[in-house]
Amino acid sequence: MTDFSTLRTEVRGRVGWITLDRPEALNALNSTLVRELASAAAAFDADEGIGCIVLTGSDRAFAAGADIKEMETQSSRDMAIDNPFAPLEQFSRVRTPVIAAVAGYALGGGCELAMACDIILAADSARFGQPEVTLGVIPGLGGTQRLPRAVGYYKAAELVLTGRMIDASEAERIGLVSRVVPAADLLTEAETMATAIAAKSLPVIYAAKEALRASQETTAAEGLRFEKQTFAAMFALADQAEGMAAFREKRSPDFTHR
Ligand code: DAK
């Protein structure tokens, strides 16, 4: 993979790791980072040897939001036409499951970046929030859409309208994160979860993610139709036959991703 200036990548087994690395700005999302993140994720997504991606930051910050210093001088036209955050829309559409392993601050665009992933695993040091209104703007990367779907309208409204930061245990209680772990265990826990996902059949995992995404983007009736058709399509896979034979024969399945 290419050398990046704002992040590091690594492959361990079938898991692709992306570590945001702008410590001087608490991993604030500037245009270079956003471009590099989309490019790194697209490269993992195109690689059949990768079955899960883990996105993480540092102990102090997953990402403290969009880069305010870069954004400050931009115009309404820059945002609407040039849209420096467009690569994050590509990131949110990768087929491969993405686990956000969050320690420290995940604020504004950083919280929205975590919500663009499929699973959010939080260290007990994690802090989430949508503080945009305190800067005179509103969330622009999904905070007004994904947060209400994740935690319900009234809790999301409180967080977006006040800009209040919440800690990891509150984030778990309201359903934003799937699990809170001691900070020292975050990456090990993320690796265990990612390795379990990556061991499954790749086309099955892609299909499961696509159907889950449909639940967020379509009506329930359309989503149920999509699920039924996708479920039937799984019976064309060698891995469906292997998974069920392995159950009958009381052994672990040997998936070939076919
Ligand atoms: N941008 C730029 N630099 C940042 C930053 C940010 N978001 N957050 C922190 N930094 C920098 C600080 O300026 C400081 O740099 P120096 O002063 O040392 O040069 C360094 O990181 C360390 O930060 P602090 O000294 O402030 O550290 P503290 O521990 O005291 O405080 C903090 C940590 C996270 C509470 C604080 O830094 C903070 O409040 N940061 C800002 C958080 C924030 O408001 N985030 C939301 C940004 S708005 C769009 C879509 C989406 C968006 C925009 C457009 N379109 C589709 C067009 C998204 C908008 C946002 O995310």
Residue range 62-117, pLDDT digits in tens? 999 999 999 999 999 988 888 889 999 999 999 999 999 999 999 999 999 999 99
- Judge whether 189 counts as a catalytic residue: no
CB 234 within 8 A of CB 244: no
Residues lining ligand 1, Cβ inside 6 A? 25-26, 28, 64-69, 79, 83, 85, 105, 107-109, 131-132, 135, 140-141
Beta bridge partners of 15: 12, 52
Please give the order of strands across the beta sheet that includes 15-20.
7-12, 15-20, 52-56, 98-102, 119-123, 179-181
Is 45 a residue whose pLDDT tops 80?
yes
Q: Is the pTM value of this prediction over 0.85? A: yes
Distance 105 CA to ligand 1 centre (A): 10
Q: Is 110 a catalytic residue?
A: no
Is residue 172 part of the annotated active site? The answer reads no
Residue 1 pLDDT more than 90? no
Are 15 and 50 in contact by the 8 Å Cβ rule? The answer is: yes
Give the per-residue pLDDT at 82. 87
The CA distance from 37 to 54, in Å, is: 12
